[in-house]
Amino acid sequence: MKNITGLLLLILLFLACKNEPKKDADALSTTPPKYETYNYSGFTKEEVYAFHKHMYEGGDWTVYGDTERYFYLNFSEIENHSRILRSDSPKILEETPRDDVKNFITPTDLKKGGGLSLNDYVQRVEVNGLIIIHKGKIVFEGYPRMFSSDLHINMLITQVFVSTSIAILEDKGLIDTSKHIDYYFDALKNSGWEGVPVLDILAMSSGIDRVPLETYEVSFDPIKDLATAKSAKPSGTEYQFSNADAAVLTLLVEKISGLTFRDFLEEEIWRKIGSEDSALLRINTNGTSVSYADGMSTTLRDLARFGLAFTPSGRKSANPIISDAHLSKIRNVNKNLKEMSWNFKETIYSSYQWGAVFDDGDFYKGAHGGQGLYISPTKDLVIAFFGTSNTDRQRNQLGVISRQLSKSGLFDLE
């Protein structure tokens, strides 16, 4: 009898184990993200083939609309690039969605979408993705025209990765931004760059006339190519956007650090911000980094992680990558570079490659097609977004909306 009882127990135990759900050892235990979803389904096979046919036949990617958005989201298929490796310890972003942010009413005087809730705006207007982080926590996130895992081109936002690299070297005492750029590059003596302080180049006020960079991109002595540039006006007297400014600053990072810009960026910024995904950086045929134009491709969350490095929540570590001195220098603007922004309808300054530094200390970098990164250190606020202009060349106005969100009172610290 005892043997039969023991046998029955073994059978019951076997059945219990057999019916137990299998556990995937590699399965993540985290709950799904809480971002807004809008039924985005990506590109069809026919759309993919049509874009590659367009490029193969000599077409330009700057055709706006979905064709251009395909380039933004699939940069690695089109351009030469290098990979910037992610952090070994990704920074976990807590998700605490807020209905008051989701339902924020956009300004009524927008060119398009004015008066809509923020959630409706991103669905109806040319927005690919939007994330808002307050006090280190995600309070809004949505992807109406991309997947959250997509690497999206950053365009000119890449330039503030360059200026941050300069600031890191400055903090280490390896660069003095008050010195003239020809102090660091003998090849720039007797050129339009001679006598131009590095600080003025950082402020996009080098005074250098617009420089076509086509020869720079294939030259195997690019600094000599930049030396052909002419001065159009005294430096530090007027804001004048120039890709050449970011190009020469990139070469300065490489000269002082002894690393390629890609390697410096990976070691000193990308891995240290706790990036979750590897990024891409476009590379010219001569090996130089395209840090001044289409530049990097990142996920939206990782771009926001970079923005967090400028806020109190992101600077809690013993050795933050953004120092007090760097933040102070961004805000210590050259008053000669003051301008009244027709977009923001208030005074802005340029500093450290940031295109708009406001009187209250917030700063912003926008880019072609509707990309943007807005930071308010005093409110512990980061807003990052991606977009693509439509075929009528209309793009989102999330830069303006970001400014209004910052001033709305929703993010005032207690």
pLDDT band at 183 (very low <50, low <70, confident <90, very high): very high
State the pLDDT at residue 24.
40
CB 290 within 8 A of CB 259: no
pLDDT computed for residue 317 by the predictor = 79
pLDDT given for residue 30 in this prediction: 55
Asked if 397 and 110 touch (Cβ cutoff 8 Å), the reply is yes
- pLDDT for residue 154 is more than 60: yes
Residue 66: partners with Cβ closer than 8 Å, 6 or more residues away: 43, 47, 388
With H, G, I as helix, E, B as strand and everything else as coil, classify residue 208: strand
pLDDT at 407: 97
| Percent of the chain at pLDDT exceeding 90 | 84
pLDDT tens column, 331-344: 999 999 999 998 99
Mean pLDDT of the chain: 91
Q: Which amino acid is at 303?
A: L
Q: What is the CATH number of domain 45-168+252-407?
A: 3.40.710.10
pLDDT of residue 15 exceeding 80, the answer is no
Is the pLDDT at 29 greater than 60? The verdict is no
Residue 248: what residue type?
A: V
- 104/22: higher pLDDT: 104
273 within 8 A of 305, measured Cβ to Cβ: yes
Say yes or no to pLDDT of 18 above 90.
no
3-state secondary structure of 121: helix
pLDDT of residue 106 exceeding 50: yes
Task: Note the pLDDT tens digit of each residue in 399-414.
Answer: 999 999 999 999 998 7
Number of neighbours of residue 328 by Cβ within 10 angstroms: 10
Query: Is pLDDT at 14 greater than 60 in this prediction?
Result: no
Q: Domain-by-domain residue ranges, the chain?
A: 45-168+252-407
Instruction: Give per-residue pLDDT as tens, 277-324.
Output: 999 999 999 999 999 988 999 999 999 999 999 999 999 977 899 999
- Is 26 a residue whose pLDDT tops 60? no
Q: Alpha-carbon distance 262 to 254, whole Å?
A: 9
pLDDT, mean of residues 159-181: 98
CA distance 383 to 402: 7
Question: Percentage helix, strand, coil, to 5, in the chain?
Answer: 35, 15, 50
Closest CA to 372 of 364, 381, 380: 364
Nearest residue to 167 via CA among 308, 331, 278: 331
Mean pLDDT calculated for residue range 9-24: 43
